[in-house]
A and B are shown apart, each in its own frame.
Chain A
Amino acid sequence: MKYSEIMVRYGELSTKGKNRRDFIRQLGKNVRDVLTEFEGIEVLAQRDRLHVILNGNDATPVMDAIGKVFGIETYSPVVRLSKDATLEDIQKTALEMINEQYEEGQTFKITTKRQNKDYPLNTYGVDNGVGGYVLDNIEGINAQMKQPDIDLRVDVRLTGIYLSSLTIQGALGLPVGTGGRGTMMLSGGIDSPVAAYMAMKRGVKVDMIHFFSPPYTSQQALAKAKDLTAKLTAFGGTIDFIEVPFTKIQEDIKEKVPEGYLMTIQRRMMLRIAAAITLDRHCNGVFTGESLGQVASQTIESMRVINEVTSLPVLRPLLSLDKTEIIKIARKIDTYDLSIMPFEDCCTIFTPPSPKTKPDLDKTIKFEKNIDVEGLMKMALENLKVTKIHVGDDYLNAQKDVFAELL
């Protein structure tokens, strides 16, 4: 079936009163962003519906992309006929559409709405004409008004006649960007991309903060974090990726801090830097992938000591999830396979054999005096590198174009 557009119905935003216009504008922008790889597509974000005009593109990959964008309740592939298409045109299109879905023993119904009162047939005429034609041409199909298997809608509008029969559940949630802004501490493991996904689900636009410690962590680990970010753009468009040079800080801590407190103080430095970046970028909170009790730094005692460096909210969407639940989501959002690629990241190098699970705040502060907190932070913050990551970007496999010739 050659569809001409995808009709998108808005999610929760329908109830948001006067913010409605912002929501629609944001969703339109996000959908446009996510679909940039497709040539010639138009996105019209209108008051009641959002329309993605395919202009010759295949509907399936476009629908796959739309299906991930937060803020969409449902969507339907639609065939648009000209506004004065004949009944015969409608009949043929309807038959083709139903044939594509029909399985033996199913029932159908035609629902016509007519906004264009100049159209020569009224709703009854279209219903009957199309319904009769379908009954004549598909053996064994039955019409049923209540809960039919296939509900084919014919919308006779001033701009054209629109036919659709499939309604697909969208990603729900709120459009990314309508829920404020935050930063996300993205390591490259399984958890942080999932936490980012959950933040985005509630409409928060997140900037990724990644700590990079060459040569202890490799270019591949950095590329992996960027590719994870690229995966996350599927849910709401382009994401800023901030690379923090962290080598010097880790080396200093390793040299000057007792082993049991390495991890705690390292995390405090990370959070301090993240908080500074957060404020600098007019964001209002720091998201992390922490889940209570998962590792030494993620006990409630550790959290208290680490959290002490900032008064910004530190948001932990995975707090009470089990690892298996997190993995399930990671698989769903297609970050799992990337996350488990075996590159050292900033969290795994210099891990002491037995970090304190219940660090003492006074001792932490005392040991932290061994390093130049202000100077180290300043140096890191002056050397940030920001990259805009777009849908479809690929860093681990940057040679894609060279390979394309071989393949």
Chain B
Amino acid sequence: MIYFDNSATTKVDNDVLNTYQKVSENYWGNPSSLHNFGEKSFNLLQQSRKQIADILGVAPAEIYFTSGGTEGDNWVIKGTAMAKREFGKHIITTQIEHAAVKNSAAALEDLGFDVTYLPVDEEGRVSAKDLEAAIRPDTILVSIMAVNNEVGSIQPLAEIAEVLKKYPKIHFHVDAVQGMAKGIHDLIFNDRVDFITFSGHKFHAPRGIGFIYGKNGRKINPLMDGGGQERGQRSGTENLPAIVGMAKAVRIVKDHENESIVTEQAIREKIYHHIIKLDKVRIFSKLNDHFAHHILCFAILGVKGETIVHAFEKEGIYISTTSACSSKKGVTSGTLNSMGVPQSEAKSAVRISLGDHNQLAEADKFNQVFDKLYDQFKKLS
């Protein structure tokens, strides 16, 4: 099996799984309990927090554990709206955000907030100029993703950060769910960012765990009220086995970051150069530094994306139509539409997304299968 759908989810790393199991067996005390059995869990929780913070170069108090990317995005967006509603009701985001951001913003629109959705260029990137033009005195939040999950475009966060330095009161949120250990750490953790969302299962940690970075001093309201865990910001008994597992996963993927980038880049380039020669192929992700090295979005004209996915799946290769979250609804890619890709091409789009476990040899195998399927498709159209 060749798994090229790592932006949908990744395989849990064996060592992470091992940790998950050991913690479940040995440290199942509640971190909030007073007795020393609970205290051990609490220490393990704090040590995990510190490990993640140290690796990312932030303070442990700036890490809040969540249930994943969707919660992180919801929390920052709605939590900002609640905390800053006295100061304004305008939010800026982009047309190509993940549904967790887009629909959170839409939910706020129903409550009377105003949302500007920035357009993107043909590379799927917003411009800092457009952002600056959209800023109003009542803008309270700017939420822009690091790496687009459908085509892999990397947003110009450095330029956006420069613009936002002139507006220090606006919360700046980056959805970096596709950005962990992808060689863009400095871009994500730029000197203006206030909140960053991460999701564990996108980097070989288990499902149901994630975290947000929240800059010291920046306040959002909690969405989860209750027992006061996570310093009162996110109540609910901590999912300790998953948290420790995620801390381990962060270490593992960051330890291997450079090698993974080299391998993933090589796989992507090999496939890119192979398929670009074919006249019915359109590639939407480019080989320049405006795109992440682990995502390749392309179309075989005249064939529905769904058909391509199933054809590959018969050969033991797993890819996806553009986003796992929207693929079952049969809608075409929001990102491609915003990039100005014609509907006829967008409906044929599929996505390859690579992860730490992929090998270069898989690119050759993919290319062979691709050629075979391409010939079949040609006969059809």
Contact = CB atoms under 8 A, between A and B. Distances in A.
Q: Which of under 10, 10 to 19, 20 to 34, or 35 or more describes the interface residues of A?
A: 10 to 19
B22 interface: yes
Contacts of B46: 397
Interface stretch (A148-156, A180-188, A316-324, A398-406): A398-406
A337 B43 contact: no
Given A399-B43, A406-B244, A407-B248, 13 more contacts: A219-B36, A220-B39, A397-B47, A399-B40, A403-B44, A403-B47, A406-B22, A407-B19, A407-B47, A407-B48, A407-B244, A407-B247, A407-B251
Of all A-B residue pairs in the complex, the 10 with the closest CB atoms, nearest first, are: A397-B43, A406-B19, A403-B47, A407-B51, A407-B247, A407-B248, A403-B44, A406-B244, A406-B22, A406-B23
B61 A337 contact: yes
A407 B244 CA distance: 6
Contact of A220 (B19, B36, B247): B36
Residue among A337, A400, A406 facing the most chain B CB atoms (10 A cut-off): A406
Interface string A14-56: 0000000000000000000000000000000000000000000
A396 interface: yes
Given A407-B19, A407-B244, A400 B36 contact: no
A157 B43 CA distance: 50
A215 B347 CA distance: 70
Interface in A217-275: 219-220
A29 B209 CA distance: 46
Interface of B: 19, 22-23, 36, 39-40, 43-44, 46-48, 51, 61, 244, 247-248, 251
Residue among B39, B46, B244 facing the most chain A CB atoms (10 A cut-off): B39
B47 A400 contact: yes
A407 B61 CA distance: 19
A397 B44 CA distance: 8
A219 B248 CA distance: 29
Nearest to B52: A407
Q: State the majority secondary structure of interface residues on A.
A: helix
B249 to A, nearest CB: 10
A403 B245 CA distance: 12
Contacts of A406: 19, 22-23, 44, 244, 248
A219 B36 CA distance: 9
Contacts of B19: 406-407
A101 B51 CA distance: 28
A400 B50 CA distance: 12
Nearest to B61: A337
B45 to A, nearest CB: 10
Interface in A59-77: none
Contacts of B44: 399, 403, 406
Interface of A: 219-220, 337, 396-397, 399-400, 403, 406-407
19 contacts: A219-B36, A220-B39, A397-B43, A397-B46, A397-B47, A399-B43, A399-B44, A400-B47, A403-B43, A403-B44, A406-B22, A406-B23, A406-B44, A406-B244, A406-B248, A407-B19, A407-B48, A407-B248, A407-B251
A249 B244 CA distance: 43
Contacts of A397: 43, 46-47
A403 B19 CA distance: 10
Residue among A219, A397, A407 facing the most chain B CB atoms (10 A cut-off): A407
B161 to A, nearest CB: 15
A44 B339 CA distance: 62
A397 B49 CA distance: 13
Contacts of B22: 406
A400 B47 CA distance: 8
Contacts of B47: 397, 400, 403, 407
A303 B61 CA distance: 38
Contacts of A220: 36, 39
B205 to A, nearest CB: 12
A287 to B, nearest CB: 29
A352 B48 CA distance: 40
B49 to A, nearest CB: 11
A363 B36 CA distance: 42
A400 B44 CA distance: 8
A58 B279 CA distance: 53
Nearest to B23: A406
A201 B47 CA distance: 30
Contacts of B40: 399
B23 to A, nearest CB: 6
A337 B59 CA distance: 12
Nearest to A406: B19
Residue among B23, B46, B47, B248 facing the most chain A CB atoms (10 A cut-off): B47
Nearest to B251: A407
B51 A396 contact: no
B169 to A, nearest CB: 24
A220 B40 CA distance: 11
B165 to A, nearest CB: 14
A279 to B, nearest CB: 37
A407 B54 CA distance: 13
Contacts of A399: 40, 43-44
Contacts of B244: 406-407
A19 B192 CA distance: 49
A407 B250 CA distance: 10
A197 B22 CA distance: 41
A285 B249 CA distance: 51
A403 B22 CA distance: 11
A222 to B, nearest CB: 12
A341 B43 CA distance: 12
A235 B43 CA distance: 25
A337 B49 CA distance: 15
A348 to B, nearest CB: 15
A188 to B, nearest CB: 16
A344 B43 CA distance: 18
Contacts of B36: 219-220
A121 B64 CA distance: 57
Residue among A219, A220, A397, A403 facing the most chain B CB atoms (10 A cut-off): A403
A368 B211 CA distance: 56
Nearest to B22: A406
A336 to B, nearest CB: 11
